[in-house]
Amino acid sequence: MKITLTKNKKVKPDFSKLGFGKYFTDHMLTMTYSDGKWNEPEIRPYEPVPMDPCTNVLHYGQGIFEGMKAYKTPEGKITMFRAYDNLRRLNKSADRLCMPNVDIELVMDGLKQLLVIDQDWIPTAPGTALYIRPFMIANDKALGVHAAHNYIFFIILSPVGSYYAHGLQPTKILVEEEMVRAPLGGTGECKCMGNYAASLFAGEMANKKGYDQVLWLDGKEHKYVEEVGAMNIFFVIDGVVITPALVGSILHGVTRRSVIEVLQKDGYKVEERRISTDEIVKAHKEGRLNEVFGSGTAAVISPVGVLNFRGEDLIINNNEMGPISRHAYDRITSIQNGTAADEFGWVVHVN
Ligand SMILES: *Cc1c(COP(=O)(O)O)cnc(C)c1O
């Protein structure tokens, strides 16, 4: 692999005020695809990439991405959390978008070298991490609508603080009954660019009404809960943890899977099944809706304090993080940051 180190290291930001995805490290990994094969990956200085205005990703959105995190353990070793799952999911997204698969071992090796080179950028305070953003874009210089023949794969790195401005405070979520994120047969299972562009409008409308995000329902009956759009969703009813089954339109979250595995191991009852808004509202009315929380790489666990349904605010657990949400958060983050044993074999060691 060709490695070109920067001659102008950046001044690092204040690690106590990172926010999410605003700062990037000194280097990035790139790999181009042409003539039916991937060329050798390369590590080089992080910099703008010149692009012809006709490049097809700019017009038709043939592009996919991933998101995972790297940590520094108390012993100073670099680790990643379940990163193989992310690269496998990247290849699944690639299949759906007619894009070439990457060689997972080759990319993993390049990513590890990149992390070692930029390791001073890994923040260590609680709640912080180095966010890893692999992505792939179509790179044909022509306007025809068809799968491209040329692609670029990138990995960029961003030190991040807590995903939400207000930290682990419960979020306010609006149940969206009109617009949908992904119908069955669509691209809801992929981390593909268009999904996010298509979700912005509902999100903006919810923000205007004072809510952080929307809860998406199924694309057919607008009745069954799907997810939050960058997070999967969990409900605790009568002490039973329920999350929507992966029916084809819901993103297969790595954090979702981790929550299920941790809670099951610790003796909680977890159900993956369809769950309707009727069931949730009824459980709330009867005082049986104990907790609601989202799961995703960025926030890990995000408690939901308010769920707005048809204009009415349902207050969840007195607008506080509940015990099962807290348990899942503590268990997963302590494995991630190396303060607890990796009993599930989730940690990928970098050095
Ligand atoms: C990335 C993402 C999630 C969360 O997945 P993780 O693997 O847990 O980070 C959930 N929903 C959507 C739509 C996503 O893009």
Domains, the chain, in order of start with CATH, read 2-161 (3.30.470.10), 171-336 (3.20.10.10)
**Whether the CB of 314 sits within 6 Å of ligand 1:** no
pLDDT at 169: 86
Distance CA 17, CA 161 (A): 7
The pTM of this model reads: 0.96
pLDDT at 213: 96
Q: Tell me the per-residue pLDDT of 166-220, one tens digit each, with 9 for 90 and over.
A: 557 899 999 999 999 999 999 999 999 999 999 999 999 999 999 999 999 999 9
pLDDT at 229: 83
Q: Tell me the per-residue pLDDT of 106-116, one tens digit each, with 9 for 90 and over.
A: 999 999 999 99
Give the chain's mean pLDDT. 96
Helix (H, G, I), strand (E, B) or coil at 282: helix
Q: Which two tokens stand for residue 256?
A: 């979702």
231 CA from centroid of ligand 1 (Å):
5
Protein residue whose Cα sits closest to atom 15 of ligand 1: 230
- Measured at the CA of 333, the angle between CA 217 and CA 300, to 5 degrees, comes to 20
Instruction: Grade residue 270 by pLDDT with cuts at 50, 70 and 90.
Output: very high
Protein residue whose Cα sits closest to atom 2 of ligand 1: 230
255 CA from centroid of ligand 1 (Å):
8
Protein residue whose Cα sits closest to atom 1 of ligand 1: 230
56: nearest Cα among 169, 123, 152, 134: 152
pLDDT at 282: 98
